[in-house]
């Protein structure tokens, strides 16, 4: 069965430090992978996606993600975290609409 | 402004009372979908539609109905709501498929007493 895992429920990072939100996948076929962000009382917003090509994908708000086929991972990264990045982040597999459980990111001032 | 709208945003109802949550998009998207979000479970797909008059079940379709009579609208119908359908519901649309970026509505928080 296709699945997406986010091993951390919560990630805390100090403002200005780099952040990583982890995602691993188990899918057959092409790994169409997405990251979405959800701010309080809002719907999800698209950050970036990997379909094919360059393993390093750049997205909105300074975020990027690295697709690693050998480790079946698609971790979300940002070089310098902002307090305003605090939100719930979802990794998703696009082929059959599977979302991970979400990781709550808290950026501390 | 390109957007997905849902109504109502909040709804409290009682067991067995039929309800409809509306969803509309103004981007001429072919693909539309309904999800429910529950703590610790992420988003789970209820139903999706690839185009007008084409709908299919997602992972958790039991207790729900949908229709796609017009391209822009994709209502979610609960014929006889039960307390286990208390959840946060999101409608989403994309240009053609789930491999495209999805645009999400603001959500509908439903409580079934």
Closest CA to B49 of B37, B61, B41: B61
Question: Is the CB of B99 less than 8 angstroms away from the CB of A94?
Answer: yes
**Could you tell me if B10 lies within 8 Å of chain A, comparing CB atoms?**
no
Residues of B in contact with A99 (CB under 8 A): 35, 42-44
Cα–Cα distance, A56 to A13 (Å, whole number): 22
CA angle, A78 as apex, A75 and A83 as ends, to 5°?
120
Chain B residues touching residue A32 (CB < 8 angstroms): 99
Q: Summarize pLDDT for A4-48 with one digit per residue, the tens.
A: 999 999 999 999 999 999 999 987 777 889 999 999 888 899 999
- Three-state DSSP class for residue A61: helix
**CA dihedral (A90, A50, A25, B96) positive or negative:** positive
For residues A6 and A23, the answer to whether their CB atoms sit within 8 Å is yes
Rg of the Cα trace of chain A?
13
- Summarised one tens digit per residue, pLDDT across range B65-105 is 999 999 999 999 999 999 999 999 999 999 998 788 999 99
- Rounded Cα distance between B13 and B109, Å, is 11
């Amino acid at each position: 069965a296709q699945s997406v895992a986010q091993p951390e429920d919560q990630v805390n990072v100090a403002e200005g430090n780099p952040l990583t939100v982890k995602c691993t996948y188990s899918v057959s076929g092409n790994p169409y992978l997405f990251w979405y962000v959800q701010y309080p009382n809002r719907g999800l917003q698209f950050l970036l996606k990997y379909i094919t090509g360059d393993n390093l994908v750049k997205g909105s708000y300074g975020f990027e993600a690295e697709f690693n086929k050998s480790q079946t991972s698609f971790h979300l990264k940002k070089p310098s975290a902002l307090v305003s990045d605090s939100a719930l982040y979802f990794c998703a597999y696009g082929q059959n609409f599977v979302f991970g459980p979400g990781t709550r990111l808290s950026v501390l001032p | 402004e390109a957007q997905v709208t849902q109504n109502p945003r909040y709804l409290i109802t009682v067991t067995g009372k039929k309800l409809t949550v509306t969803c509309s998009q103004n981007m001429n998207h072919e693909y539309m979908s309904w999800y429910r979000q529950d703590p610790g479970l992420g988003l789970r797909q209820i139903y999706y539609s690839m185009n007008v008059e084409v709908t299919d079940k997602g992972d958790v379709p039991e207790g729900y109905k949908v229709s796609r009579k017009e391209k822009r609208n994709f209502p979610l119908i609960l014929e006889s709501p039960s307390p286990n359908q208390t959840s946060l519901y999101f409608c989403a649309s994309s240009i053609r498929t789930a491999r495209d970026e999805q645009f999400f509505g603001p959500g509908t928080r439903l409580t079934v007493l």
